[in-house]
Amino acid sequence: MNKTNLIIIVAGEPYSVFSEILFKALNHKDVRKLKERIILISSIKLIKQQMKQLNFNYKINIIDKDFSNLEIKNKNTINMIDVNFDHQIPFDKITTKSNLFLENCFKIGLKIMEDKSCAGIITGPISKKHFLKKKFLGITEYLAEKTKSTNNVAMLIYNKKISICPITTHLPLKDVYKNITKNKIITQARLIHDFYIKRFNKIPKIAVTGLNPHCESNFETSEEKKIITPAIKFLNKKKYNIHGPFPADTIFMRENLKKYDVVIGMYHDQVLTPIKSLVGFDAINITLGLPFLRISPDHGPNYSMLGKNLSNPQSLIRALQFITK
């Protein structure tokens, strides 16, 4: 097996629906042929328990974390690196007790990706409250620090028809305006521009929203005038196909979206809410700016659905399809 073909999956939060959507995704016609390329980083104890609970029956093929016994099996098999899962960690709720397990899973995954030989890494959802503990806004920022890519990453929620990128991620609204800068807009637009050229061989058409309703403010100077418009003008001079700022309440109307590949927004819900309304689970979260391709399904742990066998695996299927293109 050529290591450049391997897809690494870090399962993430033990108390989440990720195992369920993984089991379902592995049965999808487009994913079945990829099984021999997938290596899951998780706990064999946890995976077996969740298979039993959800009535799935995959064989487990254990692989050493240094790939010294790399023998991939395909037929009805999950190839995985087993990480110790403390028996005291509860299966039935999110707690900080699973933090060491999660840290070890990410450490192994990042170590494997260091030599850039694998196709990419997919990460399952985690609890920002318990795992990140206010130190990081999200896994985007966590991975940025671990790979020394800080201040040079972007969260792209990708769909082949329309994608979005929030300039600020998981911030309280009261802090958003303080964290919008001309440099941040320019950096994230460059990451998007370069990604689309490298991945799709096309210059992306980018729209940028304003921050204030209707891109207006009662003050003499607004974020649109001070920050957003100057950033767009700078990028236009560099021959980027970027336009705005546009009012966020109209840019997602059907006729407007036909003109653009990506909408850059100023804060999380400004652009995440409309894209999830438009495409549902047919989107994936790509972290731009890392030294390797990292994707995650566009959903959280969704612990309220745990064990119900009703979760939609489409976003994970899209992630696996994208990583193998």
DSSP state of 138: S
In sequence order, what DSSP letters do the residues of 213-247 get, joined into one string?
GGG--SSSS-HIIIIIHHHHHHHHHTT--EEEEE-
Do the Cβ atoms of 313 and 19 come closer than 8 Å? Answer: no
The DSSP symbol for 294 reads: E
Q: Residue 73: is its pLDDT beyond 70? A: no
Assigned architecture for domain 154-283: 3-Layer(aba) Sandwich (3.40)
What element of type H or E holds 38?
strand 38-42
The tens digit of pLDDT for each residue in 180-198 reads 999 999 999 999 999 999 9
pTM: 0.91
Is the per-residue pLDDT at 127 higher than 80?
Answer: no
Cα 36 to Cα 5: distance, rounded to the nearest angstrom? 9
> Which band of pLDDT confidence, cut at 50, 70 and 90, is reported for residue 169?
very high
pLDDT tens digit sequence for 229-278: 999 999 999 999 999 999 999 999 999 999 999 999 999 999 999 999 99
Chain region(s) in the chain for CATH 3.40.718.10: 1-153+289-325, 154-283
| CA distances (Å), origin 101, targets 28, 43, 84, 131, 168 | 29, 9, 7, 10, 29
Q: What CATH code would you report for 1-153+289-325?
A: 3.40.718.10
SS3 category, 133: coil
- pLDDT (0 to 100) of residue 3: 62
Confidence of residue 89 (pLDDT cuts 50, 70, 90): low
Residue 86 has pLDDT above 90, yes or no: no
